[in-house]
Amino acid sequence: MTESVLSGAIMSSLSTLSEGVRMFATAAGWQSAVMMAIAGLLLYLGVKRQVEPLLLVPIGFACFIANIPLNDLMEGNGVLRTFYTMGIVNELFPLLIFVGIGSMIDFSPLIANPKTILFGAAGQLGIFSTVAIALALGFDQRQAVCIGAIGACDGPTVIYVANKFAPELLGTLSVAAYSYMALVPVLQPPIMRALTTKKEREVQMPSGDAKINPTILVLFPLLVTLLIGLIAPKGLPLMAMIMLGNFMKVTGVVNRLTKASENEIANICTLLLGLAIGGTMQGEQFLRLQTLLIFALGLLAITVDTAGGIFLGKIWYWLSGGKVNPLLGAAGISAYPMAARLVHSEGQKYNKNNYLLMRAAAANTGGQIGSIVAASIMLAILHGLHII
């Protein structure tokens, strides 16, 4: 071996080792640095501020490692690409998370007060109005539908829809959806106060607690699944999985499966889902003007959702001669049970004797169903227009 060959081999090896560092000095390097800063922000929010930590920690960490120059985590058989392929491309993770969500939901307040489910319909106004605005801003039809889905206030629904129609926006849409879900306690109260009068907020209602025949609790998930299956079969996987979880819970005969769904399965899927989403957050796709637009549209969607619910509440207040508290409408979004608690606490601020929690929980579970119905109907429309 000659001396020149040896020194060439050493220099070549050293050059390879320093390639990643040198990449930071290139044009692509600043994008990596910005994305790492964004990953740092997500980790800060998750760890220090406890904002949706179960999602933001894996998303933030995967975003951080996916933006280290020359990594192959999202290439071929890279670990993040593997998670993405095994659970996002085929929509497995969001659907399994839905089984867990279903097993945590109690639909009895809704069954006791069935008309409150209409708040769950009004609370989807933001989805459809945002689709129209996104189209006007130049997004294509599939992307507009996915952006509107942020208004569902429901992470798995957004991921399910985005993966089907705008996988290039999956990272942005997921982060926007989970960020706004976490910000519901900050966003909703000012809207509630702005759109209602003090007199309306003070309206005292009966607790809404009522006995229900246990057979109805068992039939309810089957009934809802059948209804959505007949009206919008494209959305059946979403509704069927959430209702499967609920069916297992109310029958009480498969407690091991129920517990596994709401704990181990949901936790594993949440981890892998977060890592796969974080892996999609790479500079060249994320650092665009459209990311800012998507965040702005997501905020608009949730604001209009809340306003839509409150306006229905005001109409109801007027029709009932002042017996319905319009604040209940704000619980018609899918952020469960946060929105219900907010409505209850906001009502109590103005009337200490007011216990809106059960009725707000009814509206909130109506919002959970409403968001899936809205997403299912959007899928049905896309199918009907031969866009999918």
Partner 1 sequence: MNGIDNVTFGVTMVVVGMGGTLLTLWVLTILIDVIKKIFPVAKSSIK
- What does the binding site for partner 1 look like in residue numbers (CB under 8 A)? 110-111, 114-115, 117-118, 120-122, 124-125, 127-129, 131-132, 135-136, 140-141, 144-145, 148, 211-213, 215-216, 219-220, 223-224, 227-228, 231-232, 366, 369-370, 373-374, 377-378, 380-381, 385-387
Distance CA 174, CA 61 (A): 15
C-alpha dist (Å) from residue 156 to 58, 162, 183, 297, 351: 15, 10, 17, 18, 36
Min dist. Cβ of residue 306 to partner 1 (A): 15
In the complex, least distance from residue 122 CB atom to partner 1, rounded to whole angstroms? 8
Q: Which residues of 198-233 are buried (b: 16+ CB within 10 A; e: fewer)?
A: eebbbbebeebeeeeeeeebeebbeebbeebeeebe
Other beta carbons within 10 angstroms of residue 28's beta carbon come to 14
Nearer to partner 1, 129 or 306 (CB): 129
Shortest spacing between CB 342 and partner 1, in angstroms: 21
The least distance separating partner 1 from the CB of residue 114, rounded to whole angstroms, comes to 4
> Computed over its alpha carbons, how large is the radius of gyration of the chain?
23
Q: Which is nearer to partner 1, 220 or 286 (CB)?
A: 220
Q: 40 or 114, CB closer to partner 1?
A: 114
The distance of closest approach from Cβ of residue 216 to partner 1 in the complex, given in angstroms and rounded to an integer, is 5
For the bound state, the minimum distance from the C-beta of residue 258 to partner 1, rounded and expressed in Å, comes to 23
Shortest CB 359 distance to partner 1, Å: 14
In the complex with partner 1, the residue whose CB is nearer, 106 or 202, is 106
As a whole number of angstroms, the distance between CA 111 and CA 212 comes to: 8
When the beta carbons of 11 and 132 are compared against partner 1, the nearer one is: 132
Smallest distance from partner 1 to CB 234, Å: 13
CB closer to partner 1, 126 vs 337: 126
CB of 385 to partner 1, least distance (A): 6
User: And the tokens for 282?
Assistant: 């790479």
Q: In terms of CB distance, is 49 or 383 closer to partner 1? A: 383
Closer CB to partner 1, 37 or 319, in the complex: 319
Q: What angle do CA 337, 306, 229 make, to 5 degrees?
A: 70
Phi, psi of 153 (to 5 degrees): 55, 40
Q: How far is the CB of 158 from partner 1 (least distance, A)?
A: 16
Q: Which lies closer to partner 1 via its Cβ, residue 282 or residue 368?
A: 368
Residue 109 or 337: the one with the smaller Cβ distance to partner 1 is 109
119, amino acid identity: F
Cα–Cα distance, 138 to 272 (Å, whole number): 33
Say if residues 182 and 294 touch (Cβ distance below 8 Å). no
CA 235 distance to own-chain centroid: 16
